Amino acid sequence: MALLDVQDLVIDIPVGGGVLHAVNEVSFAVERGETLAIVGESGSGKSLTSLAVMDLLPRVARRRAARLSFDGTDLLTIPERQMRKLRGSRMAMIFQEPMTSLNPAYTIGNQLSEALRCHEDVSAEAARARAIELLERVGIAGAGRRLLQYPHQLSGGLRQRVMIAMALMCKPDLIIADEPTTALDVTIQAQILRLLAELKKELNMAMILITHDLGVVARVADKVAVMYAGALVERGSARAVFKAPSHPYTRGLLNCIPVPGRTAPGAPLGAIRGQVPNLIGRLQGCAFRNRCDFAAPECAGDIHVEAVSPGHDVRCVRLEAQNRAVA
Amino acid sequence: MSDIVLELKDVTRRFDVSQGVFRPKATLTAVANVSLQVKRGEVFTLVGESGSGKSTLAKMLLGLLSPSSGEILIDGVPIAASNRIAVARRIQPIFQDPYSSLNPRKSIAQLVGLPLLVHNVGDAASRRAKVVEMLDLVGLPRRMLDVYPGQLSGGQRQRVAIARALVMRPEVVICDEPTSALDVSVQAQILNLLLELKRELGLTYFFISHNLAVVEHLADRVAVMYLGRIVEERTRAGLFARPGHPYTRALLESVLTPDPDLGVPETHIGSAMANPMAEHAGCPFQPRCPSAIDICRTTAPAVSSLPDGWATCHLLQQEAVASL
């Protein structure tokens, strides 16, 4: 059984003019030792999906699902007290902005130890030892000295490493990393991604990586889920999705990015015309149809999921038309 | 008109940084002895990590900061000698974050028309006509004239910022990471628009970016900055085919192309943050350099010329000596 199993997750947010359907019937599963990347642009619902798993959604948001289970525990029904025990210890999160998610008024050591001492009955010395061990593990030299420093005394790359160390304090089974490298320089990004991959393997963790950077996804993920306007439009192994992208949106995204050696310098990049639809009110049909070159009347109806190959699904009814056009 | 539209001669900018209440101020050299020449009609890109001094340099080009020493010339005339308004006619910026660079209380027509008002161009009707023309040029519908930035998406806002930058028909546009705050699909639209406008209006771009895939796509020439110094300046083709400086090499190795068969590359450079306060006897990149040799620790490297530019690295000098 998968470590995390999400079936038909729905997130609705009541707003002034009605209900915002932020996430619509999203299903995915993550196994131990596996990295799932959730890809999408801003507003696609990828961050809300991860917050829903952690039960950290904003208070106004409403979460529904056919199933939301973590290692056999039903997360939909467990009381908040038990959820708090899971959160931070068995499922941990690395947030995007290390500057805003570390408390500026406490030392690094203080914040790292707190993560462990909240969940386990350990002495201050033991927590400190574990903090030093992890800081060294994430490549911070002079860890003992760093424990006494405050977040503002560290560079962006170091702060992000501290965030990773903090998420690992309790040896979680599942780690959710929301754009963990977006704010970092490219050379540091490569180092942090390597580090995450190593740690994942070493601790046999499951990882959900949330990002909009297709380069990162291709290099790091085992499985990919592409989200558009709250819906999961394509899902499969990273190889399958990058070698044979099958949803017009996935194809469009891949054509948008300049790739050294592949796109001719100065030539126009592929662009997806139009804009993301408004998600307020009742939604029907494929949300991408107003921007899609293959759109047909049937796209306004119910969209079922089609299998491109085993394990590679796409939410598109115009697969044949697309394949004809590509061939 | 000369071929060189923008020139920096040995430009240095220092800042005094407080170290605490009772300690003396320290000096941070954000930009050190930078000399550059930007030719008319080219896309000159500046690459470097955060804290390398890219944005300080951009501010000096816009006349928002003055250099501590050295000179910046536009068409051969020093910026320091001309007034701000005259400089602003010729150089305009497009900033990174269109969410903070547009005044939320001004309508699009007001935002795009403001430079015309400041420079006292025409009457109200002709200014309005000019604004409409700009909106057409950047691909915004006319109904957006009286809309406020809050009602626009990120891509539309960046189009407004571009229209505002171009309304005075400047010669040089300083683009400071103009697409890094945007979504992937929008980034492509904006890059296409920038290249189109450059061809149409004969603009010169001074483009600042840390995204090397973007740089590879649109640059004519590339300068790589590290700790306030230019360490390599090359043509695009030359730099991407055969990087001369170890730092450039590390940057290129870190580019993640969407290829699922490859893993995350090993960059071989230390994670030590570059410290702009430290005084370096030798090469500033030496503490992180995987191929540093003894001389790198003691002596600052001189410029080695390459067929299409130059780089500052002792290894290149040794290669040159060896090949003699």
Instruction: Point out the residue among B187, B254, B261 whose CB comes nearest to the CB of A190.
Output: B254
Answer yes or no: do A263 and B217 touch at CB < 8 A.
yes
Determine the Cα–Cα distance for residues A46 and B298; give it in Å rounded to an integer: 50
**Encoding tokens for residue B226?**
């590290």
Mutation for testing the A interface, residue in B97, B152, B184 having most A CBs under 10 Å: B184
A270 interaction partners in chain B (CB closer than 8 Å): 188
Q: What is the pLDDT of residue A181?
A: 83
Query: Which range marks the domain in which residue B314 is found?
Result: 4-323
Instruction: Point out the residue among A193, A255, A258 whose CB comes nearest to the CB of B217.
Output: A258
- Greater pLDDT, B2 or A84: A84
Mutation for testing the B interface, residue in A249, A259, A269, A278 having most B CBs under 10 Å: A269
Instruction: Give the mean pLDDT of chain A.
Output: 90
Determine the Cα–Cα distance for residues A37 and A226; give it in Å rounded to an integer: 8
Lowest mean pLDDT among A222-226, B34-38, B286-290: B286-290
Mean per-residue pLDDT for A67-82? Answer: 94
CATH of domain A4-90+172-326: 3.40.50.300
pLDDT over threshold 70, residue A289: yes
B187 interaction partners in chain A (CB closer than 8 Å): 256-257
pLDDT tens-place string over residues B136-188? 999 999 999 999 999 888 889 999 999 999 999 999 999 998 988 888 888 99
Answer yes or no: do A268 and B195 touch at CB < 8 A.
yes
pLDDT tens-place string over residues A296-315? 999 999 888 999 999 999 99
Which residue is closest to A261 within chain B, CA to CA? B216
DSSP tag of A87: B
Handedness of CA A176, A180, A182, A186 (dihedral sign): negative
Which residue in A123, A210, A137, A131 sits closest to A170, CA to CA?
A131
Q: What is the pLDDT of residue B154?
A: 86
| CA distance readout (Å), A93 to A12, A51, A198, A225 | 22, 9, 17, 19
A222 interaction partners in chain B (CB closer than 8 Å): none
C-beta of residue A126 within 8 angstroms of C-beta of residue A76: no
Q: What is the domain count for chain B?
A: 1
Q: What is the pLDDT of residue A253?
A: 93
Answer yes or no: do B254 and A186 touch at CB < 8 A.
yes
Calculate what percentage of chain B has a pLDDT beyond 90.
Answer: 61
Answer yes or no: do B253 and A190 touch at CB < 8 A.
yes
pLDDT tens-place string over residues B227-276? 999 999 999 999 999 999 999 999 998 889 999 999 888 877 776 666 67
Q: What is the pLDDT of residue B273?
A: 61
Q: What is the pLDDT of residue B274?
A: 64
Mutation for testing the A interface, residue in B157, B271, B285, B288 having most A CBs under 10 Å: B271
Cβ contacts of residue B256 below 8 Å, gap of 6+? A189, A190, A213, A215, A216, A218, A219, B264, B265
Determine the Cα–Cα distance for residues A23 and A46; give it in Å rounded to an integer: 8
Answer yes or no: do B49 and A185 touch at CB < 8 A.
yes
Q: Tally C-beta pairs within 8 A across A and B.
A: 134
Determine the Cα–Cα distance for residues A239 and B258; give it in Å rounded to an integer: 10
Instruction: Give the mean pLDDT of chain B.
Output: 90
Answer yes or no: do A187 and B267 touch at CB < 8 A.
yes
The backbone torsions φ and ψ at residue A169, rounded to the nearest 5 degrees and listed phi first, read -50, -40
Which residue is closest to A269 within chain B, CA to CA? B188
Mean per-residue pLDDT for B277-305? Answer: 87
pLDDT range class, residue B99, cuts 50, 70, 90: confident
pLDDT tens-place string over residues B113-128? 999 999 998 899 999 9
Mean per-residue pLDDT for B194-202? Answer: 94
The backbone torsions φ and ψ at residue B88, rounded to the nearest 5 degrees and listed phi first, read -65, -25
Answer yes or no: do B195 and A197 touch at CB < 8 A.
no
From chain A residues 262-281, the ones with a CB under 8 A of any chain B CB are 262-263, 265-266, 268-272, 275-276
Mean per-residue pLDDT for B46-57? Answer: 88
Which amino acid type is present at position B148? Answer: Y
pLDDT tens-place string over residues A4-23? 999 999 999 998 888 999 99
pLDDT over threshold 60, residue A82: yes
- Greater pLDDT, A28 or B50: A28
Instruction: Point out the residue among A157, A193, A260 whose CB comes nearest to the CB of B257.
Output: A260
Instruction: Point out the residue among A190, A253, A272 whose CB comes nearest to the CB of B265.
Output: A190
C-beta of residue A138 within 8 angstroms of C-beta of residue A170: no
ipTM for the predicted complex? 0.84
Answer yes or no: do B153 and A263 touch at CB < 8 A.
no
The backbone torsions φ and ψ at residue A28, rounded to the nearest 5 degrees and listed phi first, read -160, 165
Instruction: Point out the residue among B185, B258, B266 whose CB comes nearest to the CB of A252.
Output: B185
Is 0.90 surpassed by the pTM of this model?
A: no
Answer yes or no: do A215 and B255 touch at CB < 8 A.
yes
From chain A residues 214-233, the ones with a CB under 8 A of any chain B CB are 214-220
The H-or-E segment that residue A168 falls in is helix A156-168
Domain locations in chain A as residue ranges: 4-90+172-326, 98-171
Determine the Cα–Cα distance for residues B232 and B282; give it in Å rounded to an integer: 17
Cβ contacts of residue B21 below 8 Å, gap of 6+? none
The H-or-E segment that residue A256 falls in is helix A248-256
CATH number at residue B136: 3.40.50.300
pLDDT over threshold 70, residue B2: no
Helix axes A186-203, B246-253, angle to 10 degrees: 50
C-beta of residue B287 within 8 angstroms of C-beta of residue B243: no
Cβ contacts of residue B273 below 8 Å, gap of 6+? A155, A157, A158, B51
Q: What is the pLDDT of residue B165?
A: 94
Answer yes or no: do B188 and A271 touch at CB < 8 A.
yes
- CA distance, residue A182 to nearest chain B CA (Å): 10
Answer yes or no: do A260 and B213 touch at CB < 8 A.
yes
Determine the Cα–Cα distance for residues A165 and A157; give it in Å rounded to an integer: 12
Determine the Cα–Cα distance for residues B48 and B254; give it in Å rounded to an integer: 13
